[in-house]
Amino acid sequence: MKTLALLISLTSFLITSAQQVDLVVPLQDSLIETSGLILLNDRLITHNDSGGEPALFEIDSVSGGISRKVIIDNAPNLDWEDLCYDDTYVYVADFGNNSGSITNLRVYRVLISDSLSTSNDTISADTIHFDYADQTDFTPTTLATNYDAEVLIAWNDSLYIFTKNWGNQWTNIYALPKTPGNYSLPRIDSRSLQKNFSLGQHLNLAS
């Protein structure tokens, strides 16, 4: 589990640390709030954040233009925050929750083969529904909740969700099965989002 622990440490680092970046090319205006980003089969793929089209955009890395758009026809974009993939599927996380009041959190699962090669640029998704087992209060508390998620990674047979805790400046970590269903997720670990942690610090995750 050392590799996963290091990956989680790096993920926490990226969530919290201001990064120096250089502009390579501007994006098209239709990518008004690009959120998740993956490099899959040498294709850069992104999506917009809340309220945008339920679409995956392939970006030309030279021009910054959109070379292809794939609509997921049964996956409304309530608040898409991130995406990741494994050997078979792309997973799109619709779990943004700034108010802490959302009760239909979900991750959409689409076949890589569909997303890269569909002839009509429209695909369908399976849905993995979940809630946080330790959340008992759904009263809206905008930018004060500990149940607003930002990051999704795929590792072995699970997806790992990282929250952005507005209330206590930590991240909570939850493991989600990759198969469609309805799940109530126990928290498996937490760590501070402050900058003074060690990248070598390991989390006590089950194998």
Q: Report the number of distinct structural domains present in the chain.
A: 1
Contacts of 129 (CB under 8 A, 6+ apart): 104, 105, 106, 181, 182, 183
In a domain, 199, yes or no: no
136 pLDDT higher than 90: yes
Q: Please give the C-alpha separations between residue 102 and each of 3, 75, 142, in angstroms, as whole numbers.
A: 32, 16, 11
Domain range enclosing 176: 2-17+34-191
pLDDT band at 130 (very low <50, low <70, confident <90, very high): very high
Domain-embedded: residue 24: no
pLDDT greater than 80 at residue 2 = no
Residue 25 has pLDDT above 70, yes or no: no
Query: What is the per-residue pLDDT across 32-73, written as a single tens digit (0 to 9) for each?
Result: 777 889 999 999 999 988 778 899 999 888 888 888 999 999
Instruction: Please check whether residue 202 lies inside any domain of the structure.
Output: no
Q: What's residue 195's pLDDT?
A: 53
In the chain, the amino acid numbered 174 is: Y
Strands 126-132, 181-185: pairing is parallel
Residue 48 DSSP symbol: E
In a domain, 25, yes or no: no
On whether residue 172 sits in a domain, the answer given is: yes
* Residue 23 resides in a domain: no
What is the rounded distance in angstroms from the CA atom of residue 164 to the CA atom of residue 148?
5
pLDDT range class, residue 19, cuts 50, 70, 90? low
Compute the average pLDDT of residues 123-139: 97
Total residues found in the chain within this entry? 207
> Which pTM value belongs to this model?
0.84
Specify if 205 maps to a domain: no
